[in-house]
């Protein structure tokens, strides 16, 4: 699930195989479109309310972030919990997300 406020997209709930649905995919696409229409060049993705994540959900997030970059919008992950960081590293995806991380203080 998600909600958008200015240049921040707030993700919450589960980012897992069972939680990744067409609704989430469409929601992420819509949030990127809103940022583009507003003329923003960056978007922060607040991950503070993600309760769990697995490789499927993380892969979706990564691909969405690459799509944002391709469209000229620089994504930054903020408020990553210790659990989410552990999921990212346990899935062997840590090196994919390093370029997108931002300090929580920026949120």
Predicted confidence (pLDDT) at residue 28 exceeds the cutoff of 70: yes
Question: For residue 88, what is the domain's CATH number?
Answer: 3.30.750.24
More confident residue, 51 or 5: 51
What was the pLDDT predicted at 24? 65
Encode pLDDT of 55-88 as tens digits: 988 988 888 888 888 988 888 888 988 888 888 8
Neighbours of 44 (CB within 10 A): 21
Q: Which domain holds residue 23?
A: 2-106
Closest CA to 77 of 31, 9, 6: 9
Provide the CA 90 distance to its chain's centre, in angstroms.
18
Query: Do residues 15 and 58 lie in contact, with contact meaning Cβ atoms separated by under 8 Å?
Result: yes
Number of domains in the chain: 1
What pTM value is reported for the model?
A: 0.78
Query: Alpha-carbon Rg of the chain, whole angstroms?
Result: 13
**Among 71, 58, 59, which residue's Cα sits nearest to residue 31?**
71
pLDDT at 102 over 70: no
pLDDT of residue 104: 42
% of the chain residues with pLDDT over 90: 1
């Amino acid at each position: 699930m998600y909600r958008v406020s200015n240049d921040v997209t707030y993700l919450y709930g589960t980012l897992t195989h069972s939680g990744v649905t067409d609704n989430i995919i469409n929601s992420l696409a819509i949030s990127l479109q809103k940022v583009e229409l507003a003329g923003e060049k960056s978007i922060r993705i607040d991950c503070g309310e993600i309760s769990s994540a697995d490789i499927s959900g993380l892969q979706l997030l990564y691909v969405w972030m690459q799509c944002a970059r391709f469209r000229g919008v620089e994504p930054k992950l903020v408020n990553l919990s210790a659990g989410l960081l552990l999921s990212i590293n346990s899935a062997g995806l840590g090196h994919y997300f390093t370029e997108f991380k931002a300090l929580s203080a920026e949120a």
